[in-house]
Amino acid sequence: MADYGLKEQLEKFGIKKALGYLGKDPEKNIPKLLNMIDKFDKDDMYKGQRAMFHRVIDNPDNNWFKLIKKLYTNIDLHVLQTIFSNFIVNATLVGGKRQDVVRKEHGCNVPWTILLDPTSACNLHCTGCWAAEYGNKLNLSFDEIDDIINQGVAMGTYMYIYTGGEPLVRKDDIIKLCEKHNDCVFLCFTNSTLIDDKFAEDMLRVGNFVPAISVEGTEASTDARRGEGTFQKVAKAMEILRNHKLPFGVSCCYTSQNVDAVSNEKFFDWMIDQGALFSWFFTYMPVGVDAPTDLMVPADKRELMYHQVRKFRETKELFTLDFFLDGEYVYGCIAGGRYYLHINANGDIDPCVFIHYSDSNIREKTLLEAYTSPLFMEYHKNQPFNENMLRPCPLLDNPYKLEKVVKATNAHSTDLVKPEDVHDLCAKCEVRANEWAPVAERLWVNSEGNKHGLGCENTILPENRIDHSKVRLMRDVIQEDIEEDNAKRAAKNQK
């Protein structure tokens, strides 16, 4: 592995200066910073991204510009600077460079983020959740999680997302890992019922942990799936986080039962009123032998989510993503280590949190050995699984493609309660996949991704093409501008 030492330190210095610069007067300095970027992007390497940001920044009434300003008033400054620095510098600049080295050297995918299940234990029993069947017997030890993060950072992965089970069953270990790996960003999908003032104070201290709280729409739909009284516990957790000036978002699985509730404008307004900064939507997947198939979302309701997410993304002060329906922005399927992978509480390394098949375990292989294993290399070879980026998934949208991948690599089911035959799983998705295909084709014809070329200029997560000489040049200009402002201020004070 190459030693980036001095270059990385210079880039960190430049970005931290820029973040401090923006924090002094974001409304004035954010447009100024973007204009600097325009000047140095002479070959239009980031033309699409710059155009997107200009649409936001050039209009102070834009909903995303208001969201950016809200960060500087509603979030603790230490937390904001820590997360931004770790995200922009480490996860994007430094991490992207390291990932690219490994990709080129080994010809494999290297993830931008790793999802981990610290435990299979959960204090709830939600309808349709596979974790509810596993009990509390499976756990990754502190040392195992620590080793995963150490291996990941060495290859450029600085973003870690906890899933479960309920990850906050292990909240003491989670905070210790945040402390030990203070150069990383940690997110967590949580039911939030274990969040209290003590944990909020720990989050405030470490500064690099962000929860995504699971909600099913209304109080009725949330309690129906997660248990009576859960919605009020969620609201209380959000109140605690707001009071401590901590960032958080919402995670929402939409099913045939709650899709109308979560696509409703009232739900988006409620999330904003509660203080949520982002919302991630996932459509229900019938994973597990006994998973009910009637919760799968029909094509017309999936199209409803497609339109609603895009509409509110342009009008609400909330950063919103749909894990499946935003495939056009990330060139299709992001699993199999392309942007992320999943490690369950038994140590099995799955290509996706919804794809419970594996040929690797962290107790037997290194992460790099898993990335170059037959299963992950087969994912790498077949991505994207469909030229229509609105049909990204090898299970939900192209079901028997997953079967081919699994059987070609002799991967096994990682469900320890009732191992699921991959053909049976794919068959459960066939009807909905066939329903969605013509709708997706109609939507894809007029989509931004199709107009711009598959996932190119408008990609949300770019393929790590960073020109570091321009980063350093921009840093120098920012520093000169800061010094000029300081000199003017000092001269004014002397007068």
Q: Cβ neighbours of residue 54 under 8 Å, at least 6 residues apart?
A: 34
Q: Which residue has the higher pLDDT, 163 or 24?
A: 163
Q: Residue 256 is encoded by which pair of tokens?
A: 């045939």
- Its CATH architecture, for the domain 79-469, is Alpha-Beta Barrel (3.20)
**pLDDT > 70: percent of the chain:** 75
Residue 143 CB-density burial (10 A; 0-12 exposed, 13-18 middle, 19+ buried) = exposed
**Nearest residue to 203 (alpha-carbon basis) of 237, 230, 228:** 237
Residue pair 196/184 in contact by the 8 Å Cβ criterion: no
**Nearest residue to 275 (alpha-carbon basis) of 305, 238, 244:** 238
Q: Residue 155 is encoded by which pair of tokens?
A: 């290859």
Query: At 483, which helix (H) or strand (E)?
Result: helix 468-494
Mean pLDDT score, 383-399: 95
Please state, in angstroms and rounded to a whole number, the distance separating the CA atoms of residues 296 and 282: 11
Q: Residue 207 is encoded by which pair of tokens?
A: 């500064």
**Spans of all domains in the chain:** 1-74, 79-469
Please state, in angstroms and rounded to a whole number, the distance separating the CA atoms of residues 149 and 144: 9
User: SS3 of 269, please?
Assistant: helix
- Is it the case that residue 15 has pLDDT exceeding 60? no
Q: Which residue has the higher pLDDT, 52 or 299?
A: 299
- The predicted pLDDT at position 165 comes to 82
- Which range has the worst mean pLDDT, 272-281, 411-420, 475-484? 475-484
Please state, in angstroms and rounded to a whole number, the distance separating the CA atoms of residues 433 and 411: 23
User: SS3 of 193, please?
Assistant: coil
User: SS3 of 28, please?
Assistant: helix
Q: Cβ neighbours of residue 332 under 8 Å, at least 6 residues apart?
A: 383, 384, 385, 386, 389, 392, 454, 455
Determine the straight-line distance between the first and last CA of the chain, rounded to whole angstroms. 55
Mean pLDDT score, 255-280: 95
How much is the pTM? 0.84
Query: What would the pLDDT profile of 83-115 be if each residue is shown by its tens digit?
Result: 988 987 788 878 888 999 999 999 999 999 999
- Residue with tokens 């600049």, as numbered in its chain: 93
Q: Which residue has the higher pLDDT, 448 or 480?
A: 448
User: SS3 of 209, please?
Assistant: strand
Q: Residue 221 is encoded by which pair of tokens?
A: 């739909």
- Is it the case that residue 485 has pLDDT exceeding 90? no
Residue pair 52/458 in contact by the 8 Å Cβ criterion: yes
Residue pair 126/226 in contact by the 8 Å Cβ criterion: yes
Residue 248 CB-density burial (10 A; 0-12 exposed, 13-18 middle, 19+ buried) = buried
